[in-house]
Amino acid sequence: MSETVQPLPIAEPRSGLKVLRGLARDRSLLTALSLMRTYVGPVFQITMPRFRPAVFVGPDANRQILVTARDQFSWRNESDPVVRLLRRGMLVVDGEEHDHYRDVMDPPLQRRNVLPHIPAFWRYTDNVIDTWADGSTQDMLVEMRKLALLILMGTTFHVDFAPDMERLWQPILHLIEYISPGLWIVWPDAPSKASHRRAIAAMDDYLYAIIRARRAQLEQQGVAPDPTDLLENLIATPGMTDDLIRDQLLTMLIAGHDTSTALLAWVLYLLGMHPATMRQVQAEVDAVVGTQDEPPTAEQVNELHFLDQVIKETLRLYPPIHIGNRRVPQDSEICGYRVPEGTRVMYSIYLSHRDKDHWRDPDAFCPARFERGQEEKVPPFTYVPFGGGPRNCIGAAFAQVEARTVLARMLQRFHFELLDGDKIHPHMGATLEPRPGVRMRVARRFAP
């Protein structure tokens, strides 16, 4: 370790007080983190009893944590609920074990294998929006969760989730609550709630039944597994027990739907807050896909440039995964700071995306930042909605094609008017969620 290495900065008593006041006022950890960034700087340590993570903000730290010094970190924080829930899911294991699962699950999620899902994304969107009465009010946080679940289960596992939606709705919300920031942060051994245990049991029953049924079906029919089906890929991989497959399925289910839910809900919120932008997106959708009922081609989806800018700007302002968690298994030096063995390290995507050192007017919604050929110039690794390096988001292509297709269909068929937009705030759950929800009045654009 070099001699110039500094201890991790902490808040001076006066700044600490301001942070605490902000926390009490907004009751939001996001406010506390933003104030720490303002008063302490782009690197700081939180000093709560039993919770002393080092938080890093900005491109240099992101690059080190995600790429150049990635081998110094482990993902697995043993006592975190997400580790207890996902057990040996690829999101929470390290080293060769992680790389093995990633190799198995990567091919079905590559862009060329995702594009053929466009018709399914389109039809699942219809399944949800067909239930909306003209002029009714819908909570987009709820509706987008339904849609994201149908899409994820239907396209990656070829399982129809519709018949189980109602029964598993509460268990899924409980699982998300279980892994969200909570008492466990300062009390890692806190006994788990009965509602969480019941939710895990319900999801396990469901997932193990799916795995057994598919194994039996493949054996009976003696057919080769479909390589574009994640579940069949896992079943066909030697050494993958039902337990290990359950861990990967649950990982994909949680990581793959809660994020898309948040992204879609935030896009609709921002469009609701900026009606002129909504009209511009709608005009683009009309020009590219018109009133056609048939799903768009991959080329058409690709041509939705302005919608893409809106999605990217939404991911900047409200990144569903707003923070990445690591641990240093040995004393380390990160960006010139000493990080003692065992420290939890966090890289804040949210704060990097709103850092005034790198972005013009960082809190403003401005899709033009991402206009092709005219992009706002920020250093690489300043914008990291899907992380980076070898552990970047495996579902990034899936999420982007899904978002464009779903939003195109929704905007093609409905007008949206946001209600109570001023009451909506970001909530730091498992993802960054618009709370208390995104209520919108929906009006059909064309006769069905």
**Residues in touch with ligand HEM (CB under 6 A):** 90-91, 102, 109, 156, 251-252, 255-256, 259-260, 263, 319-321, 324, 385-387, 391-395, 398-399
* Least Å from the CB of residue 406 to ligand HEM: 11
* Least Å from the CB of residue 152 to ligand HEM: 6
* Least Å from the CB of residue 104 to ligand HEM: 12
Smaller CB separation from ligand HEM, 258 or 284: 258
* Least Å from the CB of residue 256 to ligand HEM: 3
* Least Å from the CB of residue 403 to ligand HEM: 7
Structure token digits, residue 345:
């390290």
Q: How many alpha carbons fall within 13 Å on the CB side of residue 185?
A: 16
> Cα dist. 203→6, 156, 159, 169, 248 in Å?
46, 17, 14, 10, 13
Smaller CB separation from ligand HEM, 61 or 252: 252
SS (H, E, C) the chain: CCCCCEECCCCCHHHHHHHHHHHHHHCCHHHHHHHHHHHCCCEEECCECCECCEEECCHHHHHHHHHHCHHHCECCCCCCHHHHHHCCCHHHCCHHHHHHHHHHHHHHHCHHHHHHHHHHHHHHHHHHHCCCCCCCEEEHHHHHHHHHHHHHHHHHCCCCCHHHHHHHHHHHHHHHHHHCCCHHHCCCCCCCCHHHHHHHHHHHHHHHHHHHHHHHHHHHHCCCCCCCCHHHHHHHCCCCCHHHHHHHHHHHHHHHHHHHHHHHHHHHHHHHHCHHHHHHHHHHHHHHHCCCCCCCCHHHHHCCHHHHHHHHHHHHHCCCCCEEEEECCCCEEECCEEECCCCEEEEEHHHHHCCCCCCCCCCCCCHHHHCCCCCCCCCCCCCCCCCCHHHCCCCHHHHHHHHHHHHHHHHHHEEEEECCHHHCEEEECCCEEEECCCEEEEEECCCC
Smaller CB separation from ligand HEM, 295 or 395: 395
* Least Å from the CB of residue 90 to ligand HEM: 5
Smaller CB separation from ligand HEM, 11 or 332: 332
Smaller CB separation from ligand HEM, 157 or 306: 157
Smaller CB separation from ligand HEM, 90 or 175: 90
* Least Å from the CB of residue 253 to ligand HEM: 9
Dihedral sign, Cα of residue 128, residue 129, residue 130, residue 131: positive
* Least Å from the CB of residue 131 to ligand HEM: 23
CB-closest chain residue to ligand HEM? 395
Smaller CB separation from ligand HEM, 19 or 394: 394
Tell which residue, 386, 409, 402, 200, has the closest CA to residue 295. Answer: 409
Smaller CB separation from ligand HEM, 141 or 393: 393
* Least Å from the CB of residue 387 to ligand HEM: 3
Smaller CB separation from ligand HEM, 19 or 150: 150
* Least Å from the CB of residue 411 to ligand HEM: 18
Smaller CB separation from ligand HEM, 394 or 442: 394
* Least Å from the CB of residue 349 to ligand HEM: 6
Residues with Cβ within 8 Å of 415's Cβ and at least 6 positions away in sequence, in order, are: 442, 443, 445
Smaller CB separation from ligand HEM, 6 or 392: 392
